[in-house]
Amino acid sequence: MWIGSIRLDVATKDANFAGTDSLVRALIVRDGSELLGLRLDYPAENDLERGASRDYDYFTLPRINDQTPQLPDGIGQSPMPYPDHGIEFSSGMAGHLTLRLKIGGDDMWIKDQVDLYIREVRLVNTSFDTLEWKHVATWGKDVAMSTDSGEGKSTWNLNLG
Protein backbone atom coordinates (compact mmCIF):
# COMPACT_ATOMS: atom_id res chain seq x y z
CA MET A 1 0.00 0.00 0.00
CA TRP A 2 1.18 3.48 -0.87
CA ILE A 3 0.05 6.61 1.02
CA GLY A 4 -0.05 9.53 -1.40
CA SER A 5 -1.44 12.24 0.92
CA ILE A 6 -1.89 12.71 4.66
CA ARG A 7 -4.25 14.89 6.65
CA LEU A 8 -3.73 15.47 10.35
CA ASP A 9 -6.61 17.01 12.28
CA VAL A 10 -4.90 18.35 15.39
CA ALA A 11 -6.72 19.75 18.44
CA THR A 12 -5.16 21.64 21.32
CA LYS A 13 -6.72 21.21 24.77
CA ASP A 14 -9.02 24.03 25.84
CA ALA A 15 -7.27 24.76 29.15
CA ASN A 16 -4.98 27.37 30.66
CA PHE A 17 -1.45 27.26 29.25
CA ALA A 18 -2.36 24.51 26.72
CA GLY A 19 -1.38 26.50 23.61
CA THR A 20 2.15 26.93 22.32
CA ASP A 21 4.27 29.12 20.08
CA SER A 22 6.89 26.37 19.80
CA LEU A 23 7.10 24.43 16.54
CA VAL A 24 5.55 20.96 16.69
CA ARG A 25 6.42 18.41 14.00
CA ALA A 26 4.76 15.12 13.14
CA LEU A 27 7.26 12.52 11.96
CA ILE A 28 6.09 9.59 9.85
CA VAL A 29 7.80 6.47 11.20
CA ARG A 30 7.77 3.03 9.57
CA ASP A 31 9.02 0.10 11.66
CA GLY A 32 11.06 2.41 13.89
CA SER A 33 12.70 4.45 11.11
CA GLU A 34 11.81 8.12 10.71
CA LEU A 35 10.86 8.73 7.07
CA LEU A 36 9.42 12.22 6.81
CA GLY A 37 8.90 15.28 9.02
CA LEU A 38 5.73 17.36 8.69
CA ARG A 39 5.43 20.79 10.29
CA LEU A 40 2.23 21.52 12.22
CA ASP A 41 2.46 25.17 11.34
CA TYR A 42 0.53 27.65 9.25
CA PRO A 43 2.93 30.59 8.82
CA ALA A 44 0.12 33.18 8.68
CA GLU A 45 -1.81 31.81 11.69
CA ASN A 46 -1.28 31.51 15.40
CA ASP A 47 -2.12 27.81 15.41
CA LEU A 48 -1.82 25.25 18.22
CA GLU A 49 -3.37 27.77 20.59
CA ARG A 50 -5.77 26.91 23.43
CA GLY A 51 -8.90 25.20 22.07
CA ALA A 52 -7.73 25.38 18.43
CA SER A 53 -8.38 22.63 15.91
CA ARG A 54 -6.63 22.64 12.55
CA ASP A 55 -6.39 20.34 9.54
CA TYR A 56 -2.88 20.00 8.15
CA ASP A 57 -2.89 18.58 4.62
CA TYR A 58 0.22 17.18 2.95
CA PHE A 59 -0.35 16.33 -0.71
CA THR A 60 1.92 14.41 -3.10
CA LEU A 61 4.22 12.94 -0.46
CA PRO A 62 7.75 12.13 -1.66
CA ARG A 63 8.34 8.62 -2.96
CA ILE A 64 9.73 6.49 -0.13
CA ASN A 65 9.67 2.80 -0.97
CA ASP A 66 9.66 -0.11 1.46
CA GLN A 67 9.97 -3.58 -0.10
CA THR A 68 9.45 -2.49 -3.70
CA PRO A 69 12.96 -2.34 -5.19
CA GLN A 70 14.24 1.03 -6.35
CA LEU A 71 14.59 1.31 -10.12
CA PRO A 72 17.96 2.42 -11.54
CA ASP A 73 18.31 6.07 -12.58
CA GLY A 74 16.84 6.85 -15.97
CA ILE A 75 14.36 3.98 -15.88
CA GLY A 76 10.73 4.66 -15.11
CA GLN A 77 7.78 2.36 -14.98
CA SER A 78 4.17 3.25 -14.96
CA PRO A 79 1.86 2.02 -13.57
CA MET A 80 2.41 0.38 -10.19
CA PRO A 81 4.28 -0.87 -8.36
CA TYR A 82 6.34 2.21 -9.16
CA PRO A 83 4.22 5.28 -8.43
CA ASP A 84 5.98 8.62 -8.75
CA HIS A 85 5.05 9.66 -5.20
CA GLY A 86 3.89 8.23 -1.87
CA ILE A 87 5.15 6.33 1.14
CA GLU A 88 5.00 2.56 0.84
CA PHE A 89 3.85 0.27 3.65
CA SER A 90 4.39 -3.19 2.13
CA SER A 91 2.89 -4.99 5.13
CA GLY A 92 0.10 -2.47 5.69
CA MET A 93 0.03 0.33 8.25
CA ALA A 94 -1.22 -1.54 11.35
CA GLY A 95 1.73 -2.33 13.59
CA HIS A 96 4.13 -0.57 11.20
CA LEU A 97 3.08 3.12 11.24
CA THR A 98 3.86 5.48 14.07
CA LEU A 99 3.12 9.19 14.09
CA ARG A 100 5.82 10.74 16.28
CA LEU A 101 5.03 14.19 17.66
CA LYS A 102 8.07 16.28 18.53
CA ILE A 103 8.05 19.77 20.06
CA GLY A 104 10.94 22.11 19.34
CA GLY A 105 10.81 24.44 22.33
CA ASP A 106 10.00 24.83 26.01
CA ASP A 107 6.65 26.60 25.51
CA MET A 108 4.36 23.76 26.65
CA TRP A 109 1.63 22.41 24.36
CA ILE A 110 -1.14 20.06 25.45
CA LYS A 111 -2.32 17.75 22.69
CA ASP A 112 -6.02 17.07 22.95
CA GLN A 113 -6.74 14.87 19.92
CA VAL A 114 -5.06 13.89 16.65
CA ASP A 115 -6.96 12.27 13.77
CA LEU A 116 -5.08 10.69 10.86
CA TYR A 117 -6.57 10.55 7.37
CA ILE A 118 -4.90 9.27 4.21
CA ARG A 119 -5.37 9.06 0.47
CA GLU A 120 -3.91 5.94 -1.09
CA VAL A 121 -2.07 5.85 -4.40
CA ARG A 122 -4.03 3.45 -6.59
CA LEU A 123 -3.47 1.97 -10.02
CA VAL A 124 -6.91 2.98 -11.23
CA ASN A 125 -9.51 5.14 -9.57
CA THR A 126 -12.58 2.91 -9.40
CA SER A 127 -14.98 5.68 -8.41
CA PHE A 128 -15.06 9.20 -7.06
CA ASP A 129 -14.84 7.90 -3.49
CA THR A 130 -11.14 7.09 -4.01
CA LEU A 131 -10.52 10.85 -3.93
CA GLU A 132 -11.95 11.15 -0.41
CA TRP A 133 -9.94 11.13 2.77
CA LYS A 134 -9.97 7.78 4.59
CA HIS A 135 -10.01 8.01 8.40
CA VAL A 136 -7.31 5.75 9.82
CA ALA A 137 -6.96 6.54 13.54
CA THR A 138 -7.86 8.84 16.42
CA TRP A 139 -5.56 9.40 19.35
CA GLY A 140 -7.42 11.20 22.13
CA LYS A 141 -5.20 11.06 25.21
CA ASP A 142 -4.19 14.48 26.51
CA VAL A 143 -0.41 14.83 26.48
CA ALA A 144 1.67 17.77 27.75
CA MET A 145 4.68 18.38 25.51
CA SER A 146 7.72 20.59 26.07
CA THR A 147 11.50 20.43 25.87
CA ASP A 148 11.37 21.42 29.56
CA SER A 149 11.11 17.98 31.21
CA GLY A 150 9.27 19.54 34.17
CA GLU A 151 6.39 20.48 31.85
CA GLY A 152 6.06 17.41 29.66
CA LYS A 153 7.57 15.07 27.11
CA SER A 154 9.53 16.40 24.12
CA THR A 155 8.50 13.40 21.97
CA TRP A 156 5.28 11.37 21.95
CA ASN A 157 4.59 8.30 19.79
CA LEU A 158 1.12 7.64 18.41
CA ASN A 159 1.19 4.00 17.31
CA LEU A 160 -1.22 2.48 14.85
CA GLY A 161 -2.06 -0.93 16.31
- Give me the residue spans of the domains in the chain: 2-159
Section 110-135 average pLDDT: 81
Q: What is the pLDDT of residue 64?
A: 94
Does the structure show a pLDDT above 90 at 95? yes
Confidence of residue 158 (pLDDT cuts 50, 70, 90): very high
2-159 is a CATH 3.10.310.70 domain: no
Residue 135 carries which side chain, given as an amino acid letter? H
Distance CA 133, CA 117 (A): 6
Rounded to two decimals, what is the model's pTM?
0.89
pLDDT: is 81 or 79 the higher one?
Answer: 81
In the chain, the percentage of residues whose pLDDT exceeds 90 is 77
Averaged pLDDT, 24-37: 98
Distance of alpha carbon 63 from its chain centroid, rounded? Answer: 15
**Residue of 54 and 128 predicted with greater confidence:** 54
Average pLDDT, rounded, for the chain:
91
- CB under 8 Å, gap of 24 or more: what pairs does 58-61 form? 58/5, 58/6, 58/7, 58/8, 59/4, 59/5, 60/4, 60/5, 60/85, 61/3, 61/4, 61/5, 61/6, 61/36, 61/85, 61/86, 61/87
Query: How far is Cα 88 from Cα 52, in angstroms, rounded to an integer?
Result: 32
Q: What are phi and psi of 131, to 5 degrees?
A: -90, -5
Share of the chain above pLDDT 70, in %: 91
Higher pLDDT, 78 or 35: 35
81-91: per-residue pLDDT in tens?
678 889 999 99
Q: Residue 45 — pLDDT band, cuts 50, 70, 90?
A: confident
